[in-house]
């Protein structure tokens, strides 16, 4: 008999209260990228608001930190925290020149080719953990992942033939489908698409992909939804097998990033008409999914989980910084340039700065790193320090062991005095530094096979003063995007408070769940619902959200505040979190007065 995981046993326990055996149901995971929880209202997002009202609304939901897309995709897909998956951010230090990133050692991971390069370098599986989608495919489920480039493939990155060779692998449809570098479609689906007059190549984002866009990503989402509702779901019903389908919606994230509603202004920021249209665009797809399930008679046997990867904030490029005093051709006077952290550290530590995204060329006065990433040291092939820019938080790596603690101490002493910094976390292998907390406190030290960050720098955040601060949060951001556009990544509660809801035969009805949950929990919950056993190399896992199951009971929750020793000028990194047993949920962190939700 197939061995059940602890997660699956939790479902059995929940159902035993009613004397029932758990039925085998289908699961759809819909990820509205970058959806803030409190933006889901009957006015903004009627379909998701209705789903949350009729089913379960997780009122205490959490993104994994750093609050970035691929990092949370790794949690949603495996049920593990980042210390195990090693997907610490959208931009990582890989430790080798990545071919798919033009030989940069700091690749942007939202790229199918880059994911393949990482897998090849790190033993065939850069996450070093099994994904729920791949496990479901191995157990004979119908499986598919559809949507945004990068996170969609993460759910099936080690089984990327698109079900083409033996028909058993998950179907993958993303931005690159139908192109030479895309995951191939199975022959039956390509044929069905042709018969239905649906292009076998995903359309571009069109005007939505332009800087300063004023339209949502309607073109791509309409295409993805059409493939799912007209071809995949009917085929899955016809096959008569249970299925697991992931749909990763680029909206509202992509539109909020590039919107042109708020040039060089924090208001309306990401609350302008274009961003609201993007939320409605994602919401429309949920409505179409639910309607199709009802029409196919699958609504009574399918659980739907909606879980955003992270929240969202408006970008501020204003702070006191050495680099902001310089002049750049493409940066307004007085604004922070992309790569301000790398530029400032270079000046403060007296280390030359090279650009890994520009052939390791030296960054000269009046210029900034192309994507914000930086190699510090006299030899860019063997840097003393690497900065991976990620918006609301940056990663610092110190690749060489000799002198690593000394270099870390110099960097930390500088960072503690910068007004744009709000909280510093350090690899405990480097020792203890006043003013900082260890990375292990936020589950970033585990069994990861990718290079371990030495220092994580959280940037300051605040609100513009609206009634619900998490809906109008602002992050100081190390990004190529403009002041007034959108970003995430920080420890602001505006970035950690993602929308999560669920409905279906295994979930309670009209239930507002007050218990903290995270994206790692969502991964474990899906494994529970599918009765899958997940092999694990690491132990930093989420928990099944069993209190939301029919017959489930609410567990005990504890609130915890951790504080570092004071730094040289009295700065203290503070971490607010909740715990359910051994599982941690990170609310906010930073310096007093500099992180939204901390005080």
Q: How far is CA 356 from the centre of its chain?
A: 23
CA–CA separation, 304 and 399 (whole Å): 43
Q: How far is CA 528 from the centre of its chain?
A: 22
Q: How many CB atoms lie within 10 A of CB 187?
A: 11
Smallest Cα–Cα separation from 519: which of 541, 535, 538, 536? 541
Radius of gyration over alpha carbons of the chain, in Å?
23
- Cis bond before residue 485 (omega within 30° of 0): no
Contact 386, 106 (CB under 8 A): yes
CA–CA separation, 579 and 106 (whole Å): 34
Contact 376, 396 (CB under 8 A): no
Smallest Cα–Cα separation from 566: which of 475, 436, 457, 439? 436
**Tens digits of pLDDT across the chain (599 residues):** 333 444 455 555 555 544 555 678 999 999 999 999 999 999 999 999 999 999 999 999 999 999 999 999 999 999 999 999 999 999 999 999 999 999 999 999 999 999 999 999 999 999 999 999 999 999 999 999 999 999 999 999 999 887 754 567 899 999 999 999 999 999 999 999 999 999 999 999 999 999 999 999 999 999 999 999 999 999 999 999 999 999 999 999 999 999 999 999 999 999 999 999 999 999 999 999 999 999 999 999 999 999 999 999 999 999 999 899 999 999 999 999 999 999 999 999 999 999 999 999 999 999 999 999 999 999 999 999 999 999 999 999 999 888 999 999 999 999 999 999 999 999 999 999 999 999 999 999 999 999 999 999 999 999 999 999 999 999 999 999 999 999 999 999 999 999 999 999 999 999 999 999 999 999 999 999 999 999 999 999 999 999 999 999 999 999 999 999 999 999 999 999 999 999 999 999 999 999 999 98
Q: How far is CA 210 from the centre of its chain?
A: 22
CA–CA separation, 22 and 11 (whole Å): 7
Smallest Cα–Cα separation from 255: which of 294, 312, 295? 312
Smallest Cα–Cα separation from 519: which of 68, 11, 49, 111? 68
Spatial neighbors of 485 by CB under 8 A, at least 6 apart, are: 256, 257, 258, 259, 262, 270, 314, 315
* Strand spans (E) along 107-209: 142-147, 171-173
Query: What's this model's pTM, rounded to 2 decimal places?
Result: 0.96
With H, G, I as helix, E, B as strand and everything else as coil, classify residue 549: strand
Residue located via tokens 């909740």:
578
Beta bridge partners of 57: 501, 512
- Class of the domain covering 6-82+126-312+493-548: alpha beta
Spatial neighbors of 585 by CB under 8 A, at least 6 apart, are: 60, 62, 516, 517, 518, 577, 578, 579
Contact 95, 452 (CB under 8 A): no
């Amino acid at each position: 008999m197939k061995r059940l995981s602890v997660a699956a046993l939790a479902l059995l326990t929940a159902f035993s209260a009613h004397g029932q055996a758990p039925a085998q149901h289908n699961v759809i995971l819909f990820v509205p990228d970058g959806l803030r929880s409190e933006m889901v209202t009957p006015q903004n997002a009627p379909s998701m608001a209705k789903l949350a009202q009729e089913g379960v609304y997780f009122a205490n939901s959490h993104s994994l930190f750093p609050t970035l897309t691929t990092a949370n995709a790794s949690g949603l897909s495996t049920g593990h925290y980042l210390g195990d998956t090693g997907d610490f951010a959208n931009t990582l230090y890989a430790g080798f020149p990545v071919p798919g990133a033009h030989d940069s050692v700091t690749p942007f991971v939202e790229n199918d080719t880059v994911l393949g390069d990482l897998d090849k370098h790190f033993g065939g599986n850069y996450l070093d953990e099994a994904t729920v989608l791949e496990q479901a495919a191995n157990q004979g489920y119908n499986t598919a992942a559809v949507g945004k480039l990068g996170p969609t493939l993460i759910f099936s990155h080690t089984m990327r033939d698109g079900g083409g060779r033996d028909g058993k692998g998950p179907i993958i449809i993303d931005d690159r489908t139908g192109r030479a570098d895309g995951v191939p479609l199975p022959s039956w689906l390509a044929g069905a698409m042709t018969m239905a007059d649906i292009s076998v190549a995903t359309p571009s984002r069109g005007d939505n992909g332009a800087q300063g866009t004023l339209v949502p990503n309607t073109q791509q989402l309409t295409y993805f939804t059409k493939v799912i509702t007209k071809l995949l779901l009917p085929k899955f019903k016809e096959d008569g097998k249970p299925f697991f389908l992931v749909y990763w919606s680029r909206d509202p994230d992509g539109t909020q990033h590039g919107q042109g509603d708020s040039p060089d202004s924090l208001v309306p920021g990401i609350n302008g008409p274009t961003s609201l249209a993007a939320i409605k665009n994602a919401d429309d797809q949920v409505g179409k999914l639910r309607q199709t399930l009802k029409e196919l008679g699958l609504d009574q046997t399918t659980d739907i989980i909606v879980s955003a990867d992270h929240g969202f904030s408006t970008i501020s490029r204003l702070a006191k910084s050495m680099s902001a005093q310089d002049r750049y051709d493409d940066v307004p006077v007085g604004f922070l340039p992309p790569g301000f952290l790398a530029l400032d550290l270079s000046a403060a530590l007296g280390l030359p700065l090279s650009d890994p995204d520009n052939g390791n060329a030296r960054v000269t006065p009046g210029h900034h790193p192309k994507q914000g990433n930086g190699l510090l040291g006299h030899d860019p092939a063997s840097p003393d320090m690497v900065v991976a820019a990620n918006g609301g938080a940056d990663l610092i790596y110190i690749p060489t062991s000799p002198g690593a603690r000394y270099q870390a101490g110099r960097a930390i002493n500088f960072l503690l005095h910068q007004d744009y910094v709000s909280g510093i976390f350090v690899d405990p292998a480097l020792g203890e530094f006043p003013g900082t907390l260890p990375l292990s406190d936020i589950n970033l030290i585990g069994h990861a096979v990718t290079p371990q960050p030495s220092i994580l720098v959280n940037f300051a955040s605040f609100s513009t003063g609206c009634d619900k601060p998490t809906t109008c949060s602002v992050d100081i951001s190390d990004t190529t995007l403009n002041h007034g556009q959108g970003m995430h990544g920080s420890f602001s509660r505006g970035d950690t408070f993602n929308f999560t809801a669920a409905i279906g035969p295994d979930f309670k009805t009209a239930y507002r769940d007050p218990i903290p949950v995270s994206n790692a929990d969502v991964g474990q919950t899906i494994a529970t619902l599918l009765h899958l056993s997940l092999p694990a190399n690491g132990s930093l896992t989420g928990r099944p959200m069993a209190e939301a199951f029919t017959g489930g009971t609410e567990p005990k929750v504890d609130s915890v505040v951790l504080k570092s020793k004071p730094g040289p000028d009295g700065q203290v990194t503070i971490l607010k979190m909740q715990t359910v047993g051994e599982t941690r949920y990170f609310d906010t962190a930073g310096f007093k007065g500099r992180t939204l939700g901390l005080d």
